[in-house]
Amino acid sequence: MSENKPGENKPEVKTKLQQITETVTNVVKVSSEMGIVHRIADHDDFDGRYVSIGGQKLLFFGSCGYLSLEKHPAIIQAGVEALMRHGSQFSSSRAYVSSKYYEEAEALLSQMYGGKKVLLFQSLTLGHISNLPLLVDDNDAVVIDERAHDSIQSAVMMLKLRQIKTEVIRHNRMDRLEDQVKILKNEYKKIWYLADGMYSMHGDFAPVKELWQLADHYEQLHLYMDDIHGMSWTGPHGTGMVMEKAPFYHPKLYFTTGLTKAFGTMGGVLVYPDDDSYMRVKSCGKGFIFSIQMPPSAVASTVASCKIHLSKEITVMQTSLKAKIDYFNKRAVELGLLLMHIEQSPVFFIGVGEVNVGYDMVLRLKKSGFFINIAVFPAVPFNKTGLRITVSNALSINDIEELLLTITENLPDCLQKHGSSFEKIKKIFRQKE
């Protein structure tokens, strides 16, 4: 065997992080060169129904503005008036002074959530980073759903630096959660289960009622849920999917949501079941102390959206969207498309398997006048690529019909071209015939 002589460079052994980042970078590079990701909208006006990219007008099935509230006149007017009166920013930490709109926005959000204490943060990602390190104590343990949003997982990395016990369980497996609680309950003061209310990739829901039952049964179990994708389009006063499914607000629930999707504005919302945790985060939270607050125009728009949510108008919008969701589900099943989950959710995931099939389908749909998102690694496993489609109130039933028919016409040929089939993708996604 030869040995490296002094001064010679040893072959570089790539770390796991280097391997992952190189793989993701290559995926993004290929996707970008094909015109699938990292695109720039080039329109002067945006109506929510269409997006213009490279001079091509496309029906927009990629928006998370499910209720199309971002175009609501009252929300726009409130933002414009605040911008003219207060300027483009209010440059201060909220630890010192907040713009006048924060007090009203938090009071209205609290009213939406039955009088619970509420903090409004610049984003939900910053909210998690501010929240979890203060709520989870050193003698607590954390159990996280494997598909919990990346923003939660980023905050969990901060907990791991403190050597806090952390376990990951299979998606929505309440039996696995209960097993972990039984293992951990005699050693740790609290056991925190971290999950999404509605999962952003497949549009499926957390088993809320089962979680409530487990929290009732096990004293140590506390629930921390992110329902940003469930916000506004469902739930009483648009309070989200968890509030829609829950029989009551659980006293051990630490609820979080965001305003950047269907709510139509911006910011993250943290809701607390008790005054102590609220004051702890308000007094010590990094996002509250060390970050500049949102512009007055953004918070004023949030006030306007809250008022819509507290009116009957929100119910009309929800009803309209749910009719479109039901139509999408019904027609996709009739056409034989592989929906990962059939939920009353505005996010749909049609499994296609290999990444090249996904690329080809996105380009075919683009040529036919539709913009959709592709779900590829690392958002999903390598061989579980899918078409991630979102529906908003800006779209019509006829728009949905045209999209689904176009997918149905193109997918068989696309699968055959790349050496795949419906049977193969059903097997990949473990779907029954």
A 10 A CB-CB count for 185 gives 16
Residue 74: the pLDDT is 98
Cβ-based neighbours of 397, under 8 Å, separated by 6 or more? 323, 324, 327
Contact 64, 261 (CB under 8 A): yes
Residue 10: the pLDDT is 64
Asked if residue 378 has a cis previous peptide bond (ω within 30° of 0), the answer is yes
Q: How far is CA 402 from CA 61, 116, 348, in A?
A: 12, 44, 16
- Side-by-side strand order, sheet with 268-272: 117-121, 268-272, 253-258, 221-226, 191-196, 141-145, 165-169
Residue 305: the pLDDT is 98
CA-CA distance, 182 to 174, in Å (whole number)?
A: 12
The class that CATH gives domain 72-309 is alpha beta
Q: Strand 141-145 and strand 165-169: pairing?
A: parallel
Q: Strand 347-353 and strand 253-258: pairing?
A: unpaired
Backbone angles phi, psi at 328, to 5 degrees: -60, -50
Contact 357, 424 (CB under 8 A): no
Which residue has tokens 């809250």? Answer: 306
Spell out a b/e string for 339-371, using b for 16 or more CB atoms within 10 Å of the CB, else e.
bbeebebbbbbbbbbbbbbbbbbbebbbebebb
Strands (DSSP E) contained in 201-330 are: 221-226, 253-258, 268-272
What's this model's pTM, rounded to 2 decimal places? Answer: 0.91
> Where in the chain are the domains?
34-63+313-428, 72-309
* Angle of CA points 214, 241, 291, to nearest 5°: 95
Profile the chain (433 residues) by mean pLDDT over runs of 10 residues: 57 75 79 82 86 93 97 97 96 94 98 96 96 97 96 95 96 97 96 97 95 97 98 97 92 97 97 97 93 96 98 98 98 94 94 93 96 87 91 98 98 94 87 46
CATH of region 34-63+313-428: 3.90.1150.10
Helix (H) or strand (E) holding 288: helix 286-289
Joined together, the tokens standing for residue 146 give 């494997």
143 forms bridges with which residues in the sheet?
Answer: 167, 193
